[in-house]
Structure 1
Amino acid sequence: MSEERSLNFIEEIIENDLNSGKYETLITRFPPEPNGYLHIGHAKAICLNFGLTQKYGGYTNLRFDDTNPVTEKTEYVDSQQHDIKWLGFQWKNELYTSDYFDTLYEYAVTLIKKDLAYVDHSTADEIAALKGTPTEPGSSSPYRNRSIEENLDLFSRMKSGGFEDGACILRAKIDMQSTNMLMRDPIIYRIKHAEHHRTGNKWCIYPMYDFAHGQSDSIENITHSICTLEYVAHRELYDWLIEKLEIFPSKQYEFARLNLSYTVMSKRKLLQLVNDGVVTGWDDPRMPTISGLRRRGYTPESIREFCERIGIAKRENIIELSLLEFCIREHLNKTANRVMAVLDPIKLIITNYPEGKDETLIGENNPEAEDKGGTREIPFSNELWIEREDFMEEPAKKWFRLAPGAMVRLKHAYIVKCEDFKKDEQGNITEIHCSYIPESKSGEDTSGINVKGTIHWVSSKHAKNAEIRIYDRLFTVESPDAEEGDFKDYLNPNSMEIIKQAYIEPYLENADKDSRYQFIRKGYYCVDKDSTPGNLIFNRTVGLKDAWAKTNK
C-alpha cells in the first residue's frame, strides 16, 4: 500500500525500546511447529516478524518448535522453509528447539535444585481433579513435597528411560492457588518413547511448549517474542521461568491471530480434511495453506499486501475472504497477460470468410501493465469456438451479445452478424452461422459500424484442449468453527468444478507454471502442477468480480 499508515502497537513498543537504548539490535523469531503445512494465518505472523526486522534492522531467526516427535516430520520442515522463502523472506539462523534439549534439561535440573520443580506420578485424571477451577483454588499433589534429592534421581531416571510413557511427569512448583490456571504447577516435561525426526532415540523425555518456548527465546537473545492472543495467559509463566532461571529476559507480546471467513485455520482440522480425503492434499487449491494458495495462483505480493491491509490488532475478528481475493485481483490485473479461453464451447461458422484461409491477428497482452505487456499472435479462421452463454435464441432486453440478426465484435478481430443457427433433435443449439464485416478489423476498422458487445473466441482449427478446474469457498458458512456439530457438515459441495473439454489459444500451449493469466471475461487462471504438454490443466485463482457476495446475501 502506498499511503502512509500509523504505527501499530508493536511498532510503537519497538521504537520506544530502540530509542531508549533498551536494545541495540531488534531480534525476532518465527517458531512454527513442524506438524503440518503453514497457512494464511502463519503468513500474517511471518510478514510481521520478518517485516519488523526489515523495517528496523536486526534479524529474524527461523526456529522449529520440534518438541513433539509423534506429530513432526522432515516433510513439514521442508515445506515451511519453502513457503517462507516463496513469500519473500530470509531468516538469519535456522534453529530447532531440539538444538537446546541438553540445555533445557539442565534448566529443568536447576529448577529442581531450587526446589521449584518436582516429579509427579499422578494420573492425568488425578492432576485434573486437583487443578481446581477458574473460581476455585487447586490442591497440592501428594508428590509436591518430595525432596530435592529424590526429584533429581527420578528426573534422571525419566531421562534414562526408566519409566514408561505416562508413568510420571515433571511439574514446576509455583502456586496451586493462583488465579491463572496455567500457574498451578504446570507440566514442563513428559515421557514420550518415540523417534524424533532429528535426535532419533537419544531422548525419551521432551519439554512442553511453555517450558521450551521462553527459554529458547532467551538462548537466542530474542528481544521481542511475538505470539497470538491465545498465549496472553501464558506470559506470566514465560516471565516466571526466565526470572527463576536467571537468563536473558526475552519479552512476549501478543496480537490478534488471523481468522478468515469460509475456512478453518486449525492445523488439526486441516490435517483431518487431508486424511479424510475431503481435499487432495495440503496443497489442494481450496486449502488456506500457503502451498494451496500458491497452487491456486496467488502471488507472494498479493499475500503480503493482504497482511499489510488487515494490520496488527489486539482484538480478534473475522477477516473477509473477499479482501484476500481483492488483493490477488488487484495484483494480477497489473501483471497477468490477457488470453482467450472458451469453457463451454459452441461452434461459430463465418459463412463469408474464405474456407481454408488462416489469418494472424495481434492481441495486446495487458493494457493495465506499465509496458502494456507486449503483444501476441492469435490465429483466426472461419470456424471458431465461442461461449454457449454468448448466444440467446430469444434475446432479453439490453442483450448485447449474439442473437438472430444481432451483431457483436469478436475480440481482437471483426464484427460479425448472426444469420442463422442449427439445433439437434433435443433442441440444443449446435452451430451458429454468422457473416463478417471485412472492413471492421480491430485496429483498422473503417466500417463505421458501432456495436455494444464484444465476445471472446478461439479458432477451432488452432485451439488446444485444456482441463479447467474452477474452485470456490471450501465451506458454505462464514464461521464453520462456530456452528453446531461437525465442521465438515458445512463443506461446500460445489467447491470444485472440473471442465474436461475447454479450448484455449495456442499461445497457452507452453504456458509457464509460474505464470498467471486472465482468461478474458472469465477470471484469473494459472497452470496446475499436474499439467503436462499432453494434458494441460488450469486452475481458476479468482473470478473477475466478487460473485459470492451477490449470490449469498
Structure 2
Amino acid sequence: MNTISTATHFIKNIIEEDNRTGKWSGRVETRFPPEPNGYLHIGHAKSICLNFGLAHEYGGTCHLRFDDTNPEKEAQEYVDAIIESVRWLGFDWGQHLHYASDYFDKLYEYAEYLITQGKAYVDSLPAEEIRALRGTLTEAGTNSPYRDRPVAESLDLFRRMRAGEFADGAHVLRAKIDMASPNINLRDPVIYRIRHVHHQRTGDKWCIYPMYDFTHCVSDALEQITHSLCTLEFEDHRPLYDWVLDQLADKVPCHPQQIEFARLNLTYSVMSKRKLIDLVANGLVDGWDDPRMNSLAGLRRRGYTPESIRLFAERIGISKADSWIDMTILEDCLREDLNQRALRRIAVLDPVLLVIDNYPDDQEEICHAPNHPQQPELGKRELKLTKSLYIDRADFMETPSKGFFRLAPDAEVRLRYAYLVKCTHVVKNSQGEITTIHCSYDPATKSGTAGADSRKVKGNIHWLSARHAQPVEIRLYDRLFNDSHPDAENKDYKAALNPDSKQVITGYVEPALLDSLPEQRFQFERHGYFVADRIDTRAGKPVFNRAVSLRNTWAKSV
C-alpha cells in the first residue's frame, strides 16, 4: 500500500535522530485526532497519510482518537463517517481506536491535582471579561480578581461544578501560568468549562468538559504517543502542551513531542470546517457527500480513488512553510490513477442523429473496440453499427473553424472503430437547429481490415447505434467555486460559488454500461473519467458522475 513519499523531510529527520539516540527506544507511535463535529476533508487526508504512513514506515502504530470534548457540536454520524473515510483511504488502527472521553476521569483527576499544586484556579468572571483581561499581542494581560482564590475554595467550586450546581458559564477552571507572557496561549488559559449537554458516549455523567489544549496533550501522554504531529496553527500552542505535561510529569507515562507541519491549502476550495458546515446546513450543496465538496465522502462519490488521494499526499510533500497547492495537481493524480485502471467506454452526452444513407436499413455490423488501449490483455468489446447513429453535437460544425478536423459539410472523418463517412447534407428544424446529419460511407475502409488505411483522414469521432444506445442520467460536476481563493480575507466565499458546478443531463451509453456497479469507474472516450454513483445507482439503472475531465487531446488521451 502506498502511504507517503519515501523522500526525506524534516519530520523523518527528527524520527531518524530519535532512533539514533534511542530517545523512544525505536518506538514510533502517532495519532490522528479528529473532532467528530463534521466530515473529514482533503486537508485531513494529508494528515492521515502522514501519521499512518510514518507509523507504517517505521514499524509503529497510528491511533485513531476522537477529540469528543464538545458534545454541543458532535454526533455519532460524524464518528461513523470519519471511521469510514479513514478505512476507505486504506488505513487501519488495529486495537487503537480511542476517544478523549475515555480519559475524562483521568483528566478530571489531573485538573484537581493542578488545583492542589496551585497551578489552576476557578475563575468566576463572565467569558467576555476573561477575554478582555487577556490583553493583546502587544499588551500584557491582567490578572483576574479570582487568580489568588484559595486552593481549598477553588477545589470546592470545581467539585460543585462537576456536581452540576452551576449554570453554563458561571465558572471556568483556568491554568495559572503567566498573564504577562508574550504567548497569549499561556495567559491563564481555560482548561474546563461547564456545559449541561448530553454526551453521545458518556451520557449525562459529566456537565463539565475539558478544553482541547488540556485534553490533547494528556491523551497523547496516556496513549504513549511519541510524535504528536499537528498543523502550523498549533505551533503557538506547543508551550502550553509542554507546560501541562511538565506539571503532570509524575502522573503521566511520557511526554510526547509535538511537531508542526504546514496544513494543506488547496485552490478553488475552502478548508474551514465552519464554512463546510455552513454550505451543508444552508442547502448550498446536497449534503456532506455532494461530489462537489472537498470532503472525503464527497471526493469518493465524485469518483476519486484512495490511491489517487494517497498519491496526492505523496506528491505535495511535507514542509514547515505554508504554500498553496493548485487543484490541478489533485485532478492530475486522479487522471494518472484512472488512466491505468479505468475501462474505456463510449458515451454521447449531447446527441445529434447521424444517418448513413448508403448503409442497408436493417443491417447490424459488429465493430471491435479495445477495453483499454494500453492493456490488450483486457480484450475487446463489441459495438453494433447501424444505419442511424448518435454522435456528439460538438463533433459537427456547419461552418468549420480553422483547425477543426471533425465532421463538416463535404468533410470526411472516421467513425472510430468503423468506417470513413462523408457529410452530404443536414436537416434543420424550424428554429434552425440541426436535427439530422446525413452521410455516406466507404465500405472498403472499416477499421482493422486491409482497406482501412486506403485514405488518411485527420478526424476521428465516436458514435453509438441509435437502435442500441441506452439513455442514462449523467451528472457533470465541476469545481464548486469559480474563484481560486474563495475564502481569502475580505471575500464572501458564497459569492464565489460556481453556478455551473452541477449539470444533470440525459446521455446515451453503450448497453454494457447498464450493468455498472456502484463506484465502478470508466473513461468515457473524449469526455473524461466517470463513476457509477455509489448511492443512486441501481441494478440496470446506473447514474454516472463525472469525476474529472480529460487533460489531453483526443489523440493523446486514448
TM-score (norm 2): 0.95
Structure 1 pair 80–479 and aligned structure 2 pair: CA distance change class (3 A): same
Do the aligned residues in 1 keep the contact of 2:4 with 2:313 (CA within 8 Å)? no
1:77 match: 79
Q: Distance in 1 between matches of 2:550 and 2:197?
A: 50
Residue 325 of structure 1 aligns with an amino acid whose one-letter code is E
Instruction: For residues 447-495 of structure 1, give each alpha carbon's deviation from its aligned partner in whole angstroms, at most 9, with x where no partner exists.
Output: 5121111000111101110121111111121111115242211111111
User: Given the alignment of the two structures, is residue 442 of structure 1 paired with residue 447 of structure 2, yes or no?
Assistant: yes
Instruction: For residues 425-467 of structure 1, give each alpha carbon's deviation from its aligned partner in whole angstroms, at most 9, with x where no partner exists.
Output: 1211111111222222211141512111100011110111012
| Mean CA deviation greater in 136-145 or 353-362 | 353-362
Q: Distance in 2 between matches of 1:109 and 1:518?
A: 61
After TM superposition, the structure 1 = structure 2 runs for residues 18-417 of structure 1, keeping only pairs within 5 Å, are 18-24=19-25, 25-92=27-94, 93-246=96-249, 247=252, 248-369=254-375, 372-417=377-422
User: Given the alignment of the two structures, is residue 488 of structure 1 paired with residue 490 of structure 2, yes or no?
Assistant: no
Provide structure 1 residue ranges, at least 5 long, that are not aligned to the other structure: 548-553
Tell me the SS of whatever aligns to 2:432: coil
1:507 match: 512
Give the Å deviation of 1:374: 2.4
1:426 match: 431
Tell me the SS of whatever aligns to 2:475: strand
Tell me the SS of whatever aligns to 2:311: helix
Structure 1 pair 391–477 and aligned structure 2 pair: CA distance change class (3 A): same
Residue 144 of structure 2 aligns with an amino acid whose one-letter code is S
Q: Distance in 2 between matches of 1:311 and 1:172?
A: 37
Give the Å deviation of 1:533: 4.2
Do the aligned residues in 1 keep the contact of 2:4 with 2:54 (CA within 8 Å)? no
Do the aligned residues in 1 keep the contact of 2:346 with 2:463 (CA within 8 Å)? yes
Structure 1 pair 483–154 and aligned structure 2 pair: CA distance change class (3 A): closer
Instruction: For residues 323-346 of structure 1, give each alpha carbon's deviation from its aligned partner in whole angstroms, at most 9, with x where no partner exists.
Output: 001111111111111111011100
Do the aligned residues in 2 keep the contact of 1:361 with 1:379 (CA within 8 Å)? yes
Residue 40 of structure 2 aligns with an amino acid whose one-letter code is L
Q: Distance in 2 between matches of 1:12 and 1:84?
A: 26
Residue 58 of structure 1 aligns with an amino acid whose one-letter code is G
Q: Distance in 2 between matches of 1:545 and 1:301?
A: 19
| Mean CA deviation greater in 2-11 or 17-26 | 2-11
Q: Match for 2:526 among 521, 528, 534?
A: 521
Give the Å deviation of 1:22: 0.9
Q: How many residues align?
A: 545
Do the aligned residues in 1 keep the contact of 2:178 with 2:188 (CA within 8 Å)? yes
1:11 match: 12
Tell me the SS of whatever aligns to 1:153: helix
Do the aligned residues in 1 keep the contact of 2:5 with 2:315 (CA within 8 Å)? no
Q: Distance in 2 between matches of 1:133 and 1:483?
A: 21
Q: Match for 2:471 among 458, 465, 469?
A: 465
Structure 1 pair 367–244 and aligned structure 2 pair: CA distance change class (3 A): same
Report sequence identity in percent: 56
| Mean CA deviation greater in 184-193 or 511-520 | 511-520
TM-score (norm 1): 0.96
| Mean CA deviation greater in 443-452 or 502-511 | 443-452
Tell me the SS of whatever aligns to 1:481: coil
Q: Distance in 1 between matches of 2:400 and 2:105?
A: 77
Do the aligned residues in 2 keep the contact of 1:403 with 1:418 (CA within 8 Å)? yes
2:543 match: 537
Tell me the SS of whatever aligns to 1:509: helix
Tell me the SS of whatever aligns to 1:12: helix
Q: Distance in 1 between matches of 2:377 and 2:442?
A: 28
Q: Distance in 2 between matches of 1:301 and 1:6?
A: 18
| Mean CA deviation greater in 516-525 or 3-12 | 3-12
Tell me the SS of whatever aligns to 2:50: helix
Structure 1 pair 289–416 and aligned structure 2 pair: CA distance change class (3 A): same
Tell me the SS of whatever aligns to 1:512: coil
Residue 182 of structure 2 aligns with an amino acid whose one-letter code is T
Q: Distance in 2 between matches of 1:385 and 1:309?
A: 41
Do the aligned residues in 2 keep the contact of 1:364 with 1:372 (CA within 8 Å)? no
Q: Distance in 2 between matches of 1:375 and 1:59?
A: 45
Do the aligned residues in 1 keep the contact of 2:32 with 2:48 (CA within 8 Å)? yes
Q: Distance in 1 between matches of 2:216 and 2:434?
A: 66
Residue 170 of structure 1 aligns with an amino acid whose one-letter code is L
Tell me the SS of whatever aligns to 1:363: strand
Tell me the SS of whatever aligns to 2:378: coil
Q: Distance in 1 between matches of 2:412 and 2:167?
A: 81
Give the Å deviation of 1:3: 13
RMSD, aligned CA: 1.6
Instruction: For residues 141-184 of structure 1, give each alpha carbon's deviation from its aligned partner in whole angstroms, at most 9, with x where no partner exists.
Output: 11111111111111110001011100000000111111110101
Do the aligned residues in 2 keep the contact of 1:465 with 1:536 (CA within 8 Å)? no
Instruction: For residues 19-66 of structure 1, give each alpha carbon's deviation from its aligned partner in whole angstroms, at most 9, with x where no partner exists.
Output: 211113110000000000000000000000000011111100000000
Structure 1 pair 3–122 and aligned structure 2 pair: CA distance change class (3 A): closer
Do the aligned residues in 2 keep the contact of 1:26 with 1:56 (CA within 8 Å)? yes
Instruction: For residues 86-120 of structure 1, give each alpha carbon's deviation from its aligned partner in whole angstroms, at most 9, with x where no partner exists.
Output: 11110131000000000000010110110100011
Q: Distance in 1 between matches of 2:205 and 2:239?
A: 32
Do the aligned residues in 2 keep the contact of 1:378 with 1:507 (CA within 8 Å)? no
Residue 509 of structure 1 aligns with an amino acid whose one-letter code is L
Do the aligned residues in 2 keep the contact of 1:516 with 1:525 (CA within 8 Å)? yes
| Mean CA deviation greater in 134-143 or 57-66 | 134-143
Give the Å deviation of 1:197: 0.8
